[in-house]
Chains A and B, each alone.
Chain A
């Protein structure tokens, strides 16, 4: 159980770092789907080993919402736009370096948390937190709307993984609220992206600079 959960958490972090590294938008959307599937696998593994079958429902919701519906919505948003940014931004090397620093920071911050946990999944806690931090970084530095939303979803996935590994998930009502939340945020963002593209014919957020002061 411990090895499996650690391995899945490790793969989750790898997908996160790959998303920071890759420039191509379709590839990053696919990586998000993979990351969500890994999260679902984690939930199934915990359900199987601890007989908490409620987590199977969570896994199904993860597959449907985060691995299927949201990637499709993101693909719709990106349709027609060039798959990678036209101007080179910060190099992948710099971004990966920052992400690496965040991973180290995540380990330091999560020391008291994993130390006070007695669960077999505790080894993955810092990895999940690192996923969240790197996602937050990707969101804040995202150069287009889809990039920012991808970062937000990575962040959300990281927090979700943290809840799963540290406490075998949260109470059902809160969990349901989180799914609803992610769903509506993507829906709202999609509506807005369509309107932005209609107005500006681009996904670039640098054009959203009218309101100042």
Chain B
């Protein structure tokens, strides 16, 4: 029931918003977002405290991993929804319906048990968000949205090829066509699936969903789409859409591990992860545009998540899952603030931004704090998850890979720090005034990051252990 309500609310909101305009649209948008956040957190808490949720005869299913993603989608969508009215202004009908449809498709992707339908939902996320990327209808946003829809559709079609092969392997061996793509079924049958076909399928799945996750070398759509989309959309794309690509890969990993042995997925994830970190570090050494800088930093962090999953063990997987959440919170706050910075300075160039702390007395300090979090400095959560991942590499005997990851992290760190310094220093063109209350949700997100860095709230360790049990049983 809870799961059905969770999906029904954003879908109903999107439908209503197709017709609403003006103030009514803002009110419906706010109520829909509020209900979505509430239901998402309710699902997350219920699953962590009690048990797996099922609906529609098991077609919808939320275990610990799904609940983690649902909670994250709720938090980031809530953050983005607060900022959205500044952008939807004047064109609410082209913004709000797609915003909530986007949230809906992401929620479906992480709550369905059917891996075929998950594929449909993941492709749905691209189709729902492409209009949002092109919201400003400039030449650059047009180019970005075309690249986005083409590269992601092709990528996701590659993942479909992988899904077809898994289905083929299952049906040929066991014959039950109705439930052949159900994750719960596949997990039981995985040890009996033909290893070579599953291995081949995983290569396609990794390339396909890796495209959505922004892993190099399939990341080329990401910096364009993230920098051209309006800030609330960039926040959702970078914070959670990329994580959904990783989620899809994580769903297939236990099946592949059981059918073909754990070495296959481990090797591929490690190489893709390190490649992504290297590509990102090369760009981050000297970035010029701060939204593209944040976008490339996402490539880096998703690469690190992939490396963490590859390292495996309780620390690697838990660290990677925690890192997904930490990155989602920090990066969505940063993208939302980048929207405010862009409005204040009328530019996305780092050169143009001077004296940020004085010019934006609320957003400036918040940007500074969130950047420190993103850099992986204590006491923020990203420090903890990065230590967990790198530590898992050393303790698991992947010393060379762990050292490489560490070096790449340091390079990106130096570049980001330098860019931050350039934005903070210099004379401000004037003192701005900002309303304080509008920053409350972002401060809340930063407090969550402090909690995951300093004192884990009760239940977090248990939730991470449960998720590790799902991904690496």
- Using a CB–CB cutoff of 8 Å, the interface residues on chain A facing chain B are 109, 112-113, 116-118, 132, 136, 139-140, 145, 148-149, 152, 155-156, 159, 162-163, 166-167, 170-171, 173-174, 177-178, 180-181, 184-185, 188-189, 192, 195-196, 199, 208, 210-211, 213
Q: For residue B114, which residues in chain A have a CB less than 8 angstroms away from its CB? A: 171, 173-174
Q: B116, A173: Cβ atoms under 8 Å?
A: yes
Chain B contact surface mostly = helix
Q: Taking beta carbons and an 8 Å cutoff, which residues of B are in contact with A?
A: 114, 116-117, 119-120, 123-124, 127, 130-131, 134, 137, 139-140, 142-147, 149-150, 153-154, 157-158, 160-161, 163-165, 167-169, 171-172, 177-178, 180-181, 194, 196-197, 200, 223-224, 227-228, 283, 288-289, 292
Known: A116-B197, A213-B288. A159 touches B116 (CB 8 A): no
- Say whether B196 contacts A112, CB under 8 Å: yes
Given A167-B164, A181-B127, A184-B127, also A196-B146 (CB < 8 A): yes
Contacts of B163 in A (CB 8 A): 174
The interface residues of chain B lying within 8 Å CB-to-CB of A116 are 169, 172, 194, 197
User: Given the known A-B contacts A171-B116, A185-B153, are A112 and B200 also in contact in the complex, defined by CB atoms under 8 Å?
Assistant: yes
The 3 closest A-B pairs by CB, nearest first: A177-B120, A174-B116, A112-B196
Known: A117-B172, A159-B160. A174 touches B194 (CB 8 A): no
Contact A192 B196 (CB under 8 A): no
Query: For chains A and B in complex, what number of residue pairs have CB atoms within 8 angstroms?
Result: 126
Q: Is the CB of B142 within 8 A of A159?
A: no
Residue of A nearest to B182 (CB): A171
Do residues B197 and A156 form an inter-chain contact, with CB atoms below 8 A?
no
Q: When the two chains form their complex, are residues A210 and B139 in contact, meaning their CB atoms are under 8 A apart? A: yes
Question: Please, which residues of chain B bring their CB within 8 A of the CB of A199?
Answer: 139, 142
User: Which chain B residues border A184 with CB–CB below 8 Å?
Assistant: 127
Min CB distance, A203 to chain B, in Å? Answer: 12
A197, chain B: closest CB distance, angstroms: 11
Q: Which residues of A contact B177 (CB under 8 A)?
A: 167, 171
The answer on a CB contact under 8 Å between B142 and A166 is no
Contact call A188/B149, Cβ cutoff below 8 A: yes
| Inter-chain contacts of B181 with A (CB < 8 A) | 170-171, 174
A171 touches B180 (CB 8 A): yes
Chain B residues contacting A180 (CB-CB under 8 Å) are 120
Nearest chain A CB to B294 CB, angstrom units: 14
A181 touches B123 (CB 8 A): yes
Q: A113-B165, A210-B139, A211-B143 are in contact. List 14 more A-B contacts (CB 8 A).
A: A139-B150, A156-B157, A166-B172, A170-B181, A171-B177, A173-B114, A173-B116, A174-B117, A184-B127, A185-B127, A185-B149, A192-B134, A196-B146, A211-B140
